Amino acid sequence: MSKTKKALILSAILIVIGIIGAIPSGFIGIPKLIKQVEYNIDNISAKEKDVQTFSEDVDNLKLDFDYSFNHGFLVELRSSKDNLIHVKTYEGFTKDIKLNQNYDKANKTLSLKPKLKNRFMDRFNISEGIASIATNIYTIDRKMNSKLIIELPKGVNIDVNSLSSDRESEFIVVDNKVLKDYVNITSPILKVKLPYFNSLKKINIDQWNDINLDFREFINASDVSIKAGGIKINSGGELSNYNISKLPEKFSVVSTGDIEVNSFIPLGKNVNIATGGWANIQMPFDKYNLSGKIECSYASTATNKEEFLSLKNMKLNMDKGLYQGKYSSAAGPEYKMNISTGGVDLSNESVEGIENYIRVN
């Protein structure tokens, strides 16, 4: 029995146990459900299917995604093994994927609109309560398998426009070979994953969903702009993995929620952070020649300013929520970081402390 099969069957059992109190008929349905899960997994295999293949020499490619349904979707961008562009579907155990695709040669735009049919659920003839178990299994399967695959023969500049309205939708670039100079991603909700230490020069992500990012995806770019709801940026790995001489010239972060930064190096040579909420920044401030301006709107009018202004292991003489000057007296190349925020929490921590914090969070 494969690991996937075991996971799906075990998930069914655990979910049943969790809902027994609400569904008395669950005990009766368990043996039948397990047999049906086992049968369907044995008789439905995951498969990759080539939907469209064409030859096109492009330097700039627009990708339009429309998958506004409850279960979200995964789009994977990777390099092709020939000189052709391939559009593929990878169907998991539980669903058929119907894909409407179109390539506009004049505008260099590839439009993809997938629809899913849950063939796993269609094979069940069980009570509504037990059917909810299959829905959970379906969700697990989607996370493991279902995806659209776009294969490109060379590096291109990419503009992504997604109409996804599901928080589980993802856009993953598998390898650096398919990237040229810039990536521009505009979407209401879309999780983004770029290759670590890629060769992009410009990265722009604009959405209103909360987003978690790894600094290894951005460090080699010269111009980075992130706009989202809540934003969390971690320097993954260890300091020895990074070449600090390749920091972005400009790094702009704008949030409609809160911003959290846990980094053992500056995000760039010129960093601008803006949020109407809280900015929580953990860095080894005393290790770098870092200066800038802080505007803390909550502290400017509050009676008890300490509620909105927290400094750990560092001292800054702020007046009415304002500060301009150096964050430390360290020597070396100069870095600038301006912060415009409601409340601010700055913590001066060691490199080792931040590495450990990121490792466990």
115-167 pLDDT per residue, tens: 766 655 554 444 555 555 555 555 555 545 678 899 999 999 999 998 766 66
What span, in angstroms and rounded, lies between the C-alpha atoms of 166 and 170? Answer: 9
Predicted local confidence at residue 120, as pLDDT: 52
Task: Give the amino acid at 16.
Answer: V
Predicted local confidence at residue 321, as pLDDT: 81
How much is the mean pLDDT over the chain? 81
Instruction: Give DSSP secondary structure letters for 159-185.
Output: EEEE----TT-EEEE--GGGEEEEEEE
Pick the more confident residue, 153 or 305. Answer: 153
What span, in angstroms and rounded, lies between the C-alpha atoms of 271 and 249? Answer: 8
Query: To which residue do tokens 């995604």 refer?
Result: 65
* CA nearest neighbour of 156 among 224, 58, 54: 58
- Residue 263 tokens read as 């980094």
- Residue 327 tokens read as 């964050």
Per-residue pLDDT tens digits for 223-235:
999 999 999 999 9
Predicted local confidence at residue 140, as pLDDT: 52
- Sheet of 259-262: strand order equals 211-214, 231-234, 259-262, 278-283, 343-348, 309-312
Per-residue pLDDT tens digits for 244-272:
888 999 999 999 999 999 999 999 999 99
Query: To which residue do tokens 């960093």 refer?
Result: 271
What span, in angstroms and rounded, lies between the C-alpha atoms of 67 and 216? Answer: 29
Phi, psi of 246 (to 5 degrees): -105, 25
What span, in angstroms and rounded, lies between the C-alpha atoms of 232 and 238? Answer: 18
Mean pLDDT calculated for residue range 87-95: 75
Task: Give the amino acid at 330.
Answer: A
What span, in angstroms and rounded, lies between the C-alpha atoms of 135 and 71? Answer: 10
Predicted local confidence at residue 68, as pLDDT: 58
Domain locations in the chain?
3-43, 48-195, 202-360
Predicted local confidence at residue 98, as pLDDT: 79
Angle subtended by helix axes 3-19 and 26-43, to nearest 10: 160
* CA nearest neighbour of 71 among 33, 114, 10: 114
User: Are the beta carbons of 270 and 251 closer than 8 angstroms?
Assistant: yes
b/e string for 251-282 if b means 16 or more Cβ within 10 A?
bbbbbebbbbbbbbbbbbbbbbbbbebbbbbb
DSSP-H helix ranges across 180-332: 297-301
User: Are the beta carbons of 130 and 81 closer than 8 angstroms?
Assistant: no
**C-alpha distances in angstroms, 185 versus 32, 218, 313?**
46, 14, 38
User: Are the beta carbons of 156 and 58 closer than 8 angstroms?
Assistant: yes
191 has a pLDDT exceeding 60: yes
CA angle 222/357/335 to nearest 5° reads 30
Model's pTM, two decimal places?
0.80
- Residue 122 tokens read as 């269609």
51 has a pLDDT exceeding 60: yes
* CA nearest neighbour of 89 among 49, 120, 141: 49
